[in-house]
């Protein structure tokens, strides 16, 4: 199943200052999340960002805050699944009212908050597309197993670049040109 720009929205889970340094391939995760943010901005689809207990784990990392610009509007949470946070839950249901039922999911940690969020979204009828290289865990093994479980549960697990090209659909457009710095 392809991501369709009219149906998609982006969810970024907990890419925070005190979590990121321990994440396997942290820089790759950040770079790929930035590409997804650029994609959402390019096509104007909704973007939700969460921060798990920011007082203890810090805010979203600065390179991502810079990429988000005016879209930096974190939803604070204490629950591991984003769907357990009432503000987040209300926003995703509001987004679905606009016909957007495809979630592009990125963030950390793959085997905790991302995994639980994915399963709750799937259970609620959303189509979930996990950008496997835009999610991470401290241990590579936990990352890989979480991807397997999400795929087994019905999520589409694919590279960020696949998602970007699915939405772009063709080369030579202004949107394609604006995404080139993120996919080179």
Task: Determine phi and psi for 150, rounding to 5 degrees.
Answer: -60, -40
How many angstroms separate the CA atoms of 14 and 107, rounded?
6
- Set 14, 34, 101, 133: catalytic member: 14
Angle between the N-to-C axes of helices 115-123 and 140-152, in degrees from 0 to 180, rounded to the nearest 10 = 10
Q: Let me know how many helices (H) and strands (E) the chain has, helices first.
A: 8, 6
- Chain position carrying tokens 């710095």: 181
- Chain position carrying tokens 């063709």: 170
Our measurement of the distance from residue 15's CA atom to the centroid of its chain's CA atoms, rounded to an integer in Å, reads: 10
- Set 77, 82, 101, 133: catalytic member: 77
At residue 157, the 3 state secondary structure works out as strand
182, 35 Cβ separation under 8 angstroms: yes
How many angstroms separate the CA atoms of 150 and 95, rounded?
22
- Set 34, 82, 101, 113: catalytic member: 113
Residue 14 is among the residues annotated as catalytic for this protein? yes
Residue 113 is among the residues annotated as catalytic for this protein? yes
Please work out, in degrees rounded to the nearest 5, the angle formed at the alpha carbon of residue 105 by the alpha carbons of 104 and 108.
160
Residues with a known catalytic role? 14, 77, 113
């Amino acid at each position: 199943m392809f991501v369709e720009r009219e149906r998609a929205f982006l969810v970024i889970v907990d890419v925070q200052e005190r979590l990121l340094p321990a994440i396997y391939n942290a820089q790759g995760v950040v770079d790929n999340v930035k590409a997804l943010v650029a994609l959402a901005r390019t096509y104007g689809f909704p973007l939700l960002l969460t921060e798990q207990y920011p007082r203890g784990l810090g805010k979203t990392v600065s390179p991502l805050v810079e990429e988000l610009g005016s879209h930096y509007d974190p939803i604070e949470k204490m629950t591991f699944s984003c769907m357990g946070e009432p503000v987040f839950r209300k926003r995703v249901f509001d987004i679905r009212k606009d016909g957007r039922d495809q979630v592009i999911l990125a963030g950390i940690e793959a085997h905790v908050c991302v995994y639980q969020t994915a399963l709750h979204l799937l259970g609620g009828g959303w189509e979930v597309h996990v950008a496997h290289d835009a999610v991470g865990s401290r241990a590579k093994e936990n990352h890989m197993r979480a991807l397997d479980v999400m795929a087994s549960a019905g999520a589409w697990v694919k590279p960020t670049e696949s998602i970007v090209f699915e939405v772009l659909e063709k080369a030579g457009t202004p949107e394609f040109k604006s995404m080139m710095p993120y996919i080179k």
